[in-house]
Amino acid sequence: MIRAAAPGSRIVSVSLEGLSDGDVADVEGLLRGPMPAQVFDRLIARCPRLAWVHSATAGVERVLTPAAAQRDLVITNARGVFSEPIAEYVVMMILAVSRRLPQLLELQRERTWQPLPGVEMRDLTVGIIGLGSIGRAVARLAGAFGARVIAVRRHVDGPSPEERAGDEDADAPGVTELLPADGLPDLLARSDFSVLALPLTPETEDLLDARMLGHSKPGAWLINVARGRLVDERALVRAVREGPLGGAVLDTFREEP
């Protein structure tokens, strides 16, 4: 597809260890996958003509290294590419927890009949922390199931006209209440499921620490589909074991894998 869009271009493949199958001295654009930051820094040092780096994911924290900042590179990301499958994963987990699916499957394996009361989605409040493309997709799907959806966003007056351009989800359908960033404790206190969908920045790292998790509604669940470093994992374990949390769904961790 790149060759079709840019006839005459030369494409160089680079391994996650930074080994290339050709000379990179004239490379001008780089499509970056899950490459460690140290390898990335060594690679761009070998690319004096590099001007543009595109991250294959929505997150750019592994691309915005000090070395990249010094080069004044153009950094772009794949915002919105994975929003729908991740939103479906979130709703799947909410349904599995609220309808007691793991316990039902265990009873089935034991050939035992035991009625397990579940909670319908229309009786749940889903809190979304971060109303970007993933957060809005979760809001739309959860709202379609009848859940009450509240969300926190840095700017409650909505995106700018430039941000709205071409973005059919800019008005966040499904969200019944929008809170400012300082409304996070209130969201946690009212949500049966809190969905973490924020980017990782110096301001959001360890956002959910022991103090913040202490605001959670008793028995609530935390779902993290963003970045592991947004959560103090030791505090999370304590909050699950000792309360107030009932459990957590973690799609990401501080140390990967």
Contact between residue 166 and residue 174 where contact means Cβ atoms under 8 Å apart: no
Global confidence as pTM: 0.82
Average pLDDT over residues 234-255: 96
Contact between residue 128 and residue 175 where contact means Cβ atoms under 8 Å apart: yes
Looking at the chain, the whole-number percentage of residues with pLDDT higher than 70 is: 93
Give the tens place of pLDDT for each residue, 144-163: 999 999 999 876 555 444 44
Give the tens place of pLDDT for each residue, 57-67: 877 777 888 88
Average pLDDT over residues 219-228: 96
Contact between residue 55 and residue 32 where contact means Cβ atoms under 8 Å apart: yes
Average pLDDT over residues 19-40: 91
Query: Which range is least confidently modeled, 16-30, 81-95, 145-159?
Result: 145-159
Tell me the three-class secondary structure of the chain, residue by residue: CHHHHCCCCCCCCECCCCCECCCCCCCCEEEECCCCHHHHHHHHHCCCCCCEEEECCCCCCCCCCHHHHHHCCEEECCCCCCHHHHHHHHHHHHHHHHCCHHHHHHHHHCCCCCCCCCCCHHHCEEEEECCCHHHHHHHHHHHHCCCEEEEECCCCCCCCHHHHCCCCCCCCCCCCEEECHHHHHHHHHHCCEEEECCCCCCCCCCCECHHHHCCCCCCCEEEECCCHHHECHHHHHHHHHHCCCCEEEECCCCCCC
More confident position, 140 or 154: 140
pLDDT given for residue 154 in this prediction:
76
Contact between residue 224 and residue 74 where contact means Cβ atoms under 8 Å apart: no
Averaged pLDDT of the chain: 90
Average pLDDT over residues 6-21: 92
The answer, yes or no, to whether residue 241 has pLDDT greater than 70, is yes
Structure tokens given for 174: 């499904």
Cα–Cα nearest to 232, from 183, 97, 245: 245
| Neighbour count for residue 245 (Cβ, 10 Å) | 23
CA gap 246, 240 in Å, rounded: 6
